[in-house]
């Protein structure tokens, strides 16, 4: 029997990730400025407004704002939730997983570096404060949230965290999610990644693709790069054709340059997101920078008790929280993973 639509709201149960699943993205996050695109710590807030919604993203020093590469963890968890729901399994916004499973699914490089990357990403996701009117109602300014909260890491149980209700509601509504090409996670540049997510959301698998006003995209990306540099960067990406699954071309000659994105492989069946490929002028209007409000986040060691276990893969990542030093890692995940198999079904009490 399929779980109730709001079963994930049960406060004292935890969703344990047990197997591989294809990462998925949430439509509302794609092509909008929710994450920093650069690799350097960004302390300057993101604030954007369109005719439909407003977004404010802030972060405190010294780590800065969550980056689009940090968002890989959210995409992976969304894919795990969608996969569980597709198999009529119970899910929760309280999640537990092993780093080994995430590294395997996302193809993160072996070694100590992957643990440093995980710790840094978790810290930035937890310290980034998001306020948006998107699906929040008239009192949205009173509903800020962090991408993750209650983050704990232990040697025995791996990583435990809690996703916000705002994200969980859309992840559990499968009409709001799209699958992600595995090649996306091999893209290094933040702008390249953002353009793929933009293309996946708007162009999808439509024969005619989609066209974008570059001036509008400059605002929507939230980049700190000046307009001229942004156009040069986008033109370079289009020339190299590095966006997986899509052909990109910058068209000059009008009042503003236009980016045309078309899928390289056309579907044989139905397509997603069927709309007319018109140019979206003025979709995002940048606002003035707002004052930052630092958010204090405390990471504690240990994981709260859970009501069940399924298939747990334990990997040694340290005794304490995110501030501890990382152990030296060796190649060969199979030698380090210890599996305890109880029940394959997620959510069995």
Residue keyed to tokens 């690799």: 39
pLDDT score for 168: 93
Q: Classify residue 263 as left (phi > 0), alpha (psi -120 to 50) or beta.
A: beta
3 state SS of 95: strand
- Whether residue 159 contacts residue 69, with contact meaning beta carbons closer than 8 Å, is answered with no
**Which of 245, 249, 126 minimizes the C-alpha distance to 183?**
245
Decide the pairing of beta strands 338-341 and 54-59. unpaired
Rounded Cα gap, residues 57 and 53, in angstroms = 13
Which segments of 142-246 does DSSP mark as H helices, in order? 165-172, 190-202, 214-221, 227-240
Q: Which H or E run includes 79?
A: helix 72-86
Neighbours of 18 (CB within 10 A): 24
Q: What is the DSSP letter of 108?
A: P
Rounded Cα gap, residues 157 and 303, in angstroms = 7
Rounded Cα gap, residues 76 and 90, in angstroms = 17
Tokens coding 172: 């559990």
Backbone angles phi, psi at 232, to 5 degrees: -60, -40
3 state SS of 184: helix
pLDDT score for 5: 58
Residues in the chain predicted with pLDDT less than 50, given as ranges, are 267-349
Neighbours of 178 (CB within 10 A): 17
pLDDT score for 2: 55
Lateral strand order in the sheet of 284-286: 145-146, 128-132, 54-59, 46-50, 284-286
Cis before 89 (ω within 30): no
Cis before 273 (ω within 30): no
- Whether residue 314 contacts residue 156, with contact meaning beta carbons closer than 8 Å, is answered with yes
3 state SS of 137: coil
Q: Which H or E run includes 247?
A: strand 246-251
pLDDT score for 327: 37
What is the model's pTM?
Answer: 0.76
Tokens coding 63: 């780590």
Radius of gyration, CA atoms only, the chain = 20
How far apart, in Å, do the first and last CA atoms of the chain sit?
15
């Amino acid at each position: 029997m399929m779980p109730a639509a709001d079963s994930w709201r049960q406060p004292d149960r935890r969703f344990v990730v047990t197997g591989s699943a294809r990462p998925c993205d949430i439509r509302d996050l794609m092509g909008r400025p929710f994450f920093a695109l650069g690799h350097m710590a960004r302390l300057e807030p993101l604030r954007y407004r369109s005719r439909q919604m407003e977004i404010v993203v802030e972060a405190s020093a010294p780590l800065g704002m969550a980056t689009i590469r940090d968002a890989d963890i959210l995409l992976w968890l969304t894919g795990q939730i969608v996969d569980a729901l597709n198999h009529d399994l119970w899910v929760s916004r309280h999640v537990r997983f092993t780093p080994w499973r995430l590294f395997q699914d996302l193809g993160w490089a072996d070694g100590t570096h992957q643990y440093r990357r995980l710790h840094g990403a978790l810290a930035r996701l937890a310290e980034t404060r998001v306020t948006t009117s998107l699906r929040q109602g008239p009192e949205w300014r009173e509903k800020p949230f962090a991408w993750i909260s209650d983050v704990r890491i232990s040697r025995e149980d791996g990583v435990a965290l809690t996703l916000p209700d705002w994200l969980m509601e859309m992840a559990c509504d499968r009409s709001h999610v799209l699958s992600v090409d595995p090649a996306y996670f091999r893209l290094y540049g933040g702008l390249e990644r953002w353009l793929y997510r933009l293309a996946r959301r708007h162009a999808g698998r439509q024969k005619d693709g989609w066209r974008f006003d570059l001036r509008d995209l400059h605002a929507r990306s939230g980049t700190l790069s000046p307009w001229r540099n942004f156009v040069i960067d986008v033109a370079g990406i289009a020339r190299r054709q590095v966006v997986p699954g899509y052909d990109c071309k910058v068209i000059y000659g009008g009042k503003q340059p236009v980016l045309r994105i078309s899928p390289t492989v056309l579907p044989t069946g139905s397509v997603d997101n069927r709309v007319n490929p018109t140019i979206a002028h003025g979709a995002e209007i940048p606002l003035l920078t707002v004052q930052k409000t630092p958010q204090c986040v405390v990471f504690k060691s240990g994981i709260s008790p859970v009501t069940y276990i399924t298939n747990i893969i334990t990997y040694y990542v340290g005794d304490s929280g995110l501030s501890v030093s990382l152990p030296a890692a060796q190649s060969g995940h199979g030698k380090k993973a210890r599996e305890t198999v109880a029940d394959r079904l997620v959510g069995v009490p």
